[in-house]
Amino acid sequence: MAEVVIVEHEEAAGRLVADAIVALIRSKPDAVLGLATGSTPLATYRSLASRIAEESIDVRGVRGFALDEYVGLPAGHPESYRAVITREVVEPLGLTPELVRVPNGDPASIEHAGADYEAALVAAGGVDLQILGIGRTGHIGFNEPGSSLASLTRVKTLTEPTRADNARFFDAPEDVPMHCITQGIGTILRARHLVLLAFGEAKAHAVAAAVEGPVTASQPGSAIQLHPHTTVVIDEAAASELENLAYYRHAWANKPNWQGI
Between β-strands 179-182 and 68-70, what pairing exists: parallel, antiparallel or unpaired?
A: antiparallel
In angstroms, give the least distance from the CB of 43 to ligand F6R: 11
Residue nearest to ligand F6R (CB): 133
Alpha carbon 137 to its chain's center? 15
Q: How many CA atoms lie within 13 A of 179 on its CB side?
A: 14
**Nearer to ligand F6R (CB atom), residue 65 or residue 142:** 142
Residues 6+ apart with CB under 8 A from 204: 237, 238, 239, 240, 241
**Nearer to ligand F6R (CB atom), residue 60 or residue 87:** 87
Q: What is the DSSP letter of 71?
A: S
**Nearer to ligand F6R (CB atom), residue 179 or residue 249:** 179
C-alpha distance from residue 130 to each of 17, 88, 183, 187, 232 (Å): 11, 16, 11, 11, 12
In angstroms, give the least distance from the CB of 254 to ligand F6R: 30
Residues 6+ apart with CB under 8 A from 76: 83
| Alpha helix segments (H runs only) across the chain | 10-27, 42-54, 81-85, 91-93, 110-123, 160-166, 185-189, 204-212, 245-253
In angstroms, give the least distance from the CB of 33 to ligand F6R: 13
Distance CA 105, CA 165 (A): 20
In angstroms, give the least distance from the CB of 39 to ligand F6R: 4
Interface contacts to ligand F6R, rule CB under 6 A: 36-40, 67-68, 133-135, 139-142
In angstroms, give the least distance from the CB of 158 to ligand F6R: 10
**Nearer to ligand F6R (CB atom), residue 57 or residue 167:** 167
In angstroms, give the least distance from the CB of 97 to ligand F6R: 18
Helix-then-strand count for the chain, H and E:
9, 10
- Of 180, 123, 188, the residue nearest 151 (C-alpha): 188
In angstroms, give the least distance from the CB of 261 to ligand F6R: 19
Burial class (CB in 10 A: 0-12, 13-18, 19+), 108: exposed
In angstroms, give the least distance from the CB of 54 to ligand F6R: 26
**Nearer to ligand F6R (CB atom), residue 175 or residue 251:** 175
